[in-house]
Structure 1
Amino acid sequence: MTTAPLPDTAATRQALIDACRAMNARHLNQGTSGNISARVADGVLITPSGVAYDALAPDMMVTIPLEGSPDEIGPKPSSEWPFHQALHKARPDMPVVLHAHPPYCSVLAVQRRAIPACHYMIAAFGGDDVPLVDYALFGSQALCDNMAAVMTERHGCLMANHGATVLGETVEKALWRLEELESLARTYLFSTIGGAPHILTAEEMAEVHVAFRSYGPRSDNNSVA
């Protein structure tokens, strides 16, 4: 399935900036460590490298091609542009890629632990767990390959010794998924204190996946699940 690209307008660019500011305000990220991109008709819009979110303006967003390296003239795109590009190619149904270093997700990432089906909202990420992507140097081809392979049928993942990445049909949906992923990471970590969480079975998760098909407002393509 292919979803139409987002329009390359000032409103779209501002929405990307707003999402970056929101994830910092909600303690889902710190400083300039996260990044966001959106597939548009002419390629991929992505946040520039090393610019504080409060200093961003719509005309500072960088356009990179869907194939090949960015132009070396002009603003420098986020250092994570290679895996954003890889995910946009692998998932034409998801026009938005959002990456950050949420605290609880990052704890699990450095422990190299996926999130099992400790809560039914795991289904919001396309499977029976939130997978862990193997470690590779940021910006490397290995990381691109690892991300694309894991995210083929998933909407979110943890990245070993790194952070988390989610996909979205819209900017708002991607930000919602990031916040939900951090909540799940916190729930899973806390549930291991003084005991062990009960993990939902494959049969129980299958029921959840069916129920999720009708979750959200009627005729609303931007519903959260």
Structure 2
Amino acid sequence: MNIKNKVVELCKKISQEGLVKGTWGNVSLKDENKIYITPSGYPYEKMVDEDVTIIDFEGRVLEGFRVPSSEYKLHIAIYKNRSDVNCVLHTHPIYSSIVSIVKEFIPPLIEDGIMICGEKINVARYGEPGSWELAHNAVKALGTNNAVILKNHGLVTVGANETEALTASIVAEKTAQIYIEALKIGNISILPEEEAIKLRNKYLSSYRQKG
């Protein structure tokens, strides 16, 4: 499977998982100094390998006949700041979007969420869609984690490969749903910071598959 095909397959998977509606959201994979990214406003169900655009780290189109995603700056900023990241997924799932308008972060709650997403999932400060402000705010709030929520917008997850990034998206949305539903019931059990750090480190040192 070539890189363009991997991007197309990821688009189908985020749609199947209910992480996006319509043409919102975007996907990219990094290969050395090239970024393979979804085109702007193009239906996922129609997308084929030739629709994927290749850009460089300055946003210049190297290959492709379609306009790259309007959020290409977000992808570039993450890749420039995280050498461990080779895949970026930006989605608009329901519960993560709810968190984006009512909370500043999701605290450490559930084992898998902590391990793959980070000790807590931060909500980045608001930035206009497609702007460098949004990109820089996302990078800052992401830190060394694998997931960040964009204020009044949606979810971004990253990974060493497409499997890790997709799993982070699914688990982050599940964690957001658990958080929202738990808030309706009453007192929430939050794991101590030191326990959350242990879980995250265990994932990074033992569980993570880089290939």
Same fold (TM over 0.5): yes
What is aligned with 2:206?
214
CA deviations on 1:148-205 (whole Å, 9 max, x unpaired) are 2222311110110000000011112111110011110011111111202111001222
The two structures have a TM-score, normalised by structure 1, of: 0.86
CA–CA distance in structure 2, aligned partners of residues 76 and 207 of structure 1 = 43
CA–CA distance in structure 2, aligned partners of residues 13 and 162 of structure 1 = 26
CA–CA distance in structure 1, aligned partners of residues 44 and 201 of structure 2 = 39
Matching of residues 41-60 of structure 1 within 5 Å: 41-60=32-51
Equivalent position amino acid for 2:210 in 1: N
Please state if 1:195 is matched with 2:193.
Answer: no
Q: Secondary structure at the match of 1:83?
A: helix
Aligned-pair identity (%): 27
Q: Secondary structure at the match of 1:48?
A: coil
Shift of 1:28: 1.3
Selected match of 1:18 from 6, 9, 14: 9
Q: Secondary structure at the match of 1:181?
A: helix
CA–CA distance in structure 2, aligned partners of residues 147 and 189 of structure 1 = 22
Please state if 1:170 is matched with 2:169.
Answer: no
CA deviations on 1:93-132 (whole Å, 9 max, x unpaired) are 1110000001110111122431101112232346420011
Q: Secondary structure at the match of 1:131?
A: strand
Number of equivalenced pairs: 210
What is aligned with 1:27?
18
Normalized per residue, which structure has more helix? Answer: 2
Compared with structure 1, are the counterparts of its residues 133 and 167 closer, same or farther at alpha carbon in structure 2 (3 Å cutoff)?
A: same
Compared with structure 1, are the counterparts of its residues 77 and 151 closer, same or farther at alpha carbon in structure 2 (3 Å cutoff)?
A: same
Q: Secondary structure at the match of 1:17?
A: helix
Equivalent position amino acid for 1:198 in 2: S
The two structures have a TM-score, normalised by structure 2, of: 0.91
Segments ≥4 residues shifted beyond 6 Å: none
> Structure 1: which 5+ residue stretches go unaligned?
1-9
**Alignment RMSD (CA, Å):** 2.0
